[in-house]
């Protein structure tokens, strides 16, 4: 199980973040002065801002580095879950189901939720790892997925829905074997505190056959009591 980053490292990380924010202010201020002195200097939106505006942005950047309410939502998912995975090889095909367990744990000071799934007791034995987060800069949930069916990873990101009980995260992955760009959505839903559902919807022509988006995977997780 992935362990928490040791607390003795946190002051160092905060110091690095503070130094980075100060560097942003310094570089942008110097750049703004240089742009005013030279007509050939290349200006950027940041360089056009006043030192006060840049200082406010630096403070906002540091604030967004700390966990927020959305991370509390993720933290509530810590623990052991039973999962049922349903897969469709193609549209209208008979579904294949498998069951497993998930251990979920927050890491890096409450910033990311790592879900490690074990499907050892099924015909399709293997492991899966999903890392969920929330980027406070963009206001989007983030996802990185890995498993033992391949040596690659997939990623997606997207905002929560209006009700706050779900999110649609979009991503793409270039398959160098098939020479094709895969387009997909991870549809996340929290019907209640003890249930978590994920659907994987493919949107590219290779998976849809030129038709509408195609749901290939649905995973339902239920908290173990």
Between the CA of residue 155 and those of 119, 206, 215, what are the distances in Å? 21, 19, 17
**For 33, how many CA atoms within 13 A lie in the half-sphere containing its CB?**
6
12 or 171, which is more confident: 171
Number of domains observed in the structure of the chain:
2
Q: Percent of the chain at pLDDT above 70? A: 77
Q: Could you tell me if residue 2 is inside a domain? A: no
Across the chain, mean pLDDT equals: 81
| 51 — pLDDT class (breaks 50, 70, 90) | confident
My answer on whether 209 and 107 are in the same domain is yes
Of 18, 47, 65, the position where a domain reaches its end is 65
My answer on whether 162 and 116 are in the same domain is yes
- What pLDDT does residue 1 have? 42
- The answer, yes or no, to whether residue 49 has pLDDT greater than 60, is yes
Q: Could you tell me if residue 1 is inside a domain? A: no
Q: What whole-number distance in Å separates Cα of residue 115 and Cα of residue 147?
A: 11
- What pLDDT does residue 217 have? 95
What phi and psi, each to the nearest 5 degrees, are found at residue 203? -125, -5
My answer on whether 24 and 51 are in the same domain is yes
Of 65, 91, 114, the position where a domain reaches its end is 65
Nearest CA to 198 among 166, 155, 160?
166
DSSP 23-59: HHHHHHHHHHHHHHH-TTS---TTTTS-HHHHHHHHH
CATH number for position 158? 2.40.128.20
My answer on whether 180 and 82 are in the same domain is yes
pTM of the model: 0.74
- Please state the rounded mean pLDDT for residues 36-40: 41
- What pLDDT does residue 163 have? 83
Strand (E) or helix (H) holding 70: helix 69-75
Of 46, 65, 84, the position where a domain reaches its end is 65
Quick: pLDDT tens for 155-203.
Answer: 999 999 988 789 999 999 999 998 999 999 999 999 999 999 999 999 9
- What pLDDT does residue 47 have? 66
- The answer, yes or no, to whether residue 21 has pLDDT greater than 70, is no
- At 210 the three-state DSSP class reads coil
Q: Could you tell me if residue 21 is inside a domain? A: yes
Q: The domain containing residue 77 runs over which residues? A: 70-223
My answer on whether 101 and 205 are in the same domain is yes
């Amino acid at each position: 199980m992935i362990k928490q980053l040791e607390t003795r490292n946190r002051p160092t990380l905060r110091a690095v973040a503070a130094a980075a924010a100060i560097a942003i202010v310094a570089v942008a201020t110097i750049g703004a002065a240089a742009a005013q002195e030279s007509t050939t200097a290349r200006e950027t939106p940041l360089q056009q801002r006043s030192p006060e505006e840049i200082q406010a942005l630096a403070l906002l950047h540091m604030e967004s580095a700390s966990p927020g309410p959305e991370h509390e939502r993720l933290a509530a998912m810590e623990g052991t879950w039973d999962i049922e995975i349903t897969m469709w090889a193609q549209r209208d095909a008979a579904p294949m189901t498998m069951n497993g367990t998930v251990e979920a744990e927050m890491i890096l000071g409450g910033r990311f939720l790592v879900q490690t799934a074990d499907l050892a007791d099924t015909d399709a034995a293997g492991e899966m790892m999903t890392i969920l987060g929330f980027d406070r800069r963009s206001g989007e949930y983030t996802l990185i997925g890995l498993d033992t069916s391949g040596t690659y990873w997939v990623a997606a990101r997207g905002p929560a829905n209006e009700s706050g009980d779900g999110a649609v995260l979009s991503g793409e992955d270039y398959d160098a074997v098939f020479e094709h760009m895969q387009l997909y959505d991870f549809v996340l839903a929290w019907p209640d505190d003890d249930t978590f559902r994920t659907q994987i919807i493919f949107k590219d022509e290779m998976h849809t056959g030129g038709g509408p988006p195609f749901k290939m995977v649905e995973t339902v997780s239920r908290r173990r009591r």
